Amino acid sequence: MKNADIKRLLYTHLLCIFSIILSIFIPSFFLENFSILETHLMWLCICSVFVTAVNLVLYLVVKRYPNPKNISTVHTWGISYVCKWFYFLCLFRLSCNFVLYGAPLIELVLETFLFAVILSTFTTVPCLCLLGPNLKAWLRVFSRNGVTSVWENSLQITTISSFLGTWLGAFPIPLDWERPWQVWPISCTLGATFGYVAGLVISPLWIYWNRKQLTYKNN
């Protein structure tokens, strides 16, 4: 059971990584002058759309996640509506956090917003898909010894590593190295992306390594 789960986890994560790589290379066929650094916002949008699509397809259409409750279609629609609100709330929260961390309040609003979009794509969308709009479940997953399955464990790892990558990416911004990627929010988005990819790679391996020690309450 567990091994099969881990295998599926690995495949889904590889798909996610593949989508990010695609988002780097595909647009250059259709758009001229496309590069990550110069047309950064464009890449941000494309990348977040790709990752969101892959996540939605994987989690909702394929439905390999064992849904605990049998929910009717009407309910599903209602839940997806709530999910949307949750998503926008998260966007707003993240933007607020960026401003509190020192992002400019009035200038560069679009940049800040798009950065919030991509970060929530990496963190909020998988959470919504997996846990639904349930704040208590979210808090439970992100506290110590709170995870109940392989999926939640990997979710915890990828989310934390994306946030960590973002956090580390913010450090070079004020320094005087005078590089093109030191502009807000490029280094942060790159950090977030690297962190997300690293989390995607690490989490199946880590879970596989520690599969003997990991015991989940419900399983």
Partner 1 sequence: MRLGCGAYAAGCVVIEVLGVALFLRGFFPAPARPEPEPPAAPAAPEPLAGTARSGPSAPPPLFRKVVIMLIDALRDDFVFGSKGVKFMPYTTSLVEQGAAHSFVAEAKPPTVTMPRIKALMTGSLPGFVDVVRNLNSPALLEDNVVTQAKAAGKRIIFYGDETWVKLFPKHFVEYDGTTSFFVSDYTEVDNNVTRHLDKVLKRGDWDVLILHYLGLDHIGHISGPSSPLIGRKLSEMDSILMRIHTSLLSEEREALSPSLLVLCGDHGMSESGGHGASSLEEVNTALLLASSAFERKPGEARPPERVQQTDLAATLAVGLGLPIPQHSVGRFLFPVVQGRALREQLRLLHLNAVQLSRLLQVRVPGYKKEHGFEHFKISERLHGNWVRLYLEENNAEILLNMGAKARKQYLYTLKALSQALSSQEAQYDMYSMVVGTVVVLEVLALLLLSVPQALGATAKLEVPLSPVCSLLFYVMFLLLWAMHMVVCTSTESSLYLCSLAWPMAGGVLALVSALLCGVLSTLTRMCLRGKFLRRNRAPSHWKWSELDFLVLAGTAGHVLSLGASSFIEEEHQTWYFLVSTLCLALSHESYRSCFLGDDEEPEHCPRVAGEFAGAASALQGRSVSCDVLELDRARQSPSPLDGLRGREKCMALAGPWLVLGCCRLLRSLNQTGVQWAHRPDLGHWLTSSDHQAELSVLAALSLLAIFALVQSRCSSVAKGALALGLLGVYCYRAATGHVLSPWQQDNKDVSR
- Closest approach of Cβ 208 to partner 1, in Å? 25
Options 24-32, 74-82, 83-91, 137-145: segment touching partner 1 (CB under 8 A)? 137-145
Q: Cβ 146 to partner 1, closest distance in Å? A: 8
Q: Does 140 bind partner 1 (CB under 8 A)?
A: yes
Instruction: Tell me the window of 16-24, 83-91, 134-142, 190-198 that interacts with partner 1 (CB under 8 A).
Output: 134-142
What residues between 151 and 180 interact with partner 1 by CB under 8 A?
167, 170-171, 174-177
Best CA proximity match to 207, nearest among 167, 165, 158, 162 = 158
Contacts of partner 1 in 22-61 (CB under 8 A): none
Nearer to partner 1 (CB atom), residue 54 or residue 147: 147
For residue 139, state whether it binds partner 1 (rule: CB under 8 A). yes
